[in-house]
Amino acid sequence: MTIPGDEMFNYSANREIESSAKVKALEALLIEKGVLSSSSVDKILEYFDTKMGPFNGAKLVAKAWKDQEFKKLLLNDCNSACEQLDMPTGMSGAEGEIMRVAENTSSVHNLIICTLCSCYPWPTLGLPPYWFKDPTFRARSAREPRVVLSEFGLELESDVEIRVWDSSGQIRWWVLPEQPEGTSEMSEEELAALITPESMMGVSKVVY
């Protein structure tokens, strides 16, 4: 599996396999010691597969594209917007205490990072990819965001302003991407299917 950004930071080609083996070994040890049970692990995994993930963010973005009043609410108070859509319990906790949304436009492009560690809006984007946590990505994105975006394959016009938003332990940022042309007649469900985690991080655009 190729993950966007891998080639920039020289990770081991087998790091996913290696990390998975380490996690399984640690899990087996904790179960053996009685610290946790296999059912509790399964429950946590199921939660992130079905309740907390980028499908939530995609749903919010699609709704904002179709409903201007909801878009205003999302930009002003993301957590209240989540409540309005009856999102899963816990959307305002577990890395989502206060979420803020930055809107991409034809003249402004937003990029989210966390220079301190890897603060990330889990409820709307799921778990962060490896490269988001990499110190090189974090430092270079703050210093030369246009170059980093270019390395992701996102070439922006020179007159497009790039704004970098630094998440923290208090605020988790994510991006409201631009709606692509030719999609105005699509349903919210159809629009949500187009939206990727990368577009809500600001390292790509939504493509139709």
Mean pLDDT by 10 residues, the chain (208 residues): 51 73 84 83 74 90 98 95 78 70 98 92 88 90 96 96 94 96 97 97 97
Residue 134 lies in a domain: yes
Task: Specify the 3-state DSSP secondary structure of 162.
Answer: strand
Task: State whether 93 and 142 are in the same domain.
Answer: yes
Q: Do 39 and 84 have their domain in common?
A: no
- Residue 10: DSSP 8-state: T
The verdict on whether 117 is a catalytic residue reads yes
pLDDT for the residue numbered 23:
78
Count of beta carbons in the 10 Å neighbourhood of residue 142: 14
The tally of domains found in the chain comes to 2
Query: Same domain for 176 and 150?
Result: yes
Query: Inter-axis angle of helices 54-66 and 68-76, to 10 degrees?
Result: 130
For residue 39, give its domain range.
11-50
CB atoms within 10 A of CB 120: 24
Same domain, 79 and 164: yes
113/46 same-domain check: no
Active-site residue identified among 78, 119, 167, 199: 119
Query: What distance in Å separates the CA atoms of residue 87 and residue 79, rounded to the nearest whole number?
Result: 10
80: which strand partners? Answer: none
For residue 179 the two structure tokens come to: 């709606």
Looking at residue 72, what is its pLDDT? Answer: 98
Choosing from 114, 141, 167, 199, which is the catalytic residue?
114
Q: Examine the domain organization and report whether 86 and 177 are in the same domain.
A: yes
Q: Is residue 3 part of a domain?
A: no
Do 23 and 96 lie in a common domain?
no
Residue 86 belongs to a domain:
yes
Single pTM value for the model? 0.82
Q: Is 35 in the same domain as 73? A: no
Residue 155, both tokens:
């070439």
Asked whether residue 206 is domain-assigned, the answer is no
At residue 95, the pLDDT reads 58
Q: Which of 37, 117, 150, 187 is catalytic?
A: 117
Tell me if 1 is assigned to some domain: no
Residues 40 and 71: their CA atoms lie apart, in Å, by: 37
Per-residue pLDDT at 94: 55
91 and 26 within one domain:
no
12 catalytic, yes or no? no
Q: Are residues 29 and 103 in the same domain?
A: no
pLDDT value for 169: 82
8 A C-beta contact, residue 74 and residue 81: yes
Residue 181 placed within a domain: yes
* Ramachandran class of 10: left when φ > 0, alpha when ψ lies in -120 to 50, beta otherwise: left
Q: What's the confidence (pLDDT) of residue 91?
A: 65
Whether residue 195 lies inside any domain: the answer is yes
**CATH number of domain containing 77:** 3.90.330.10
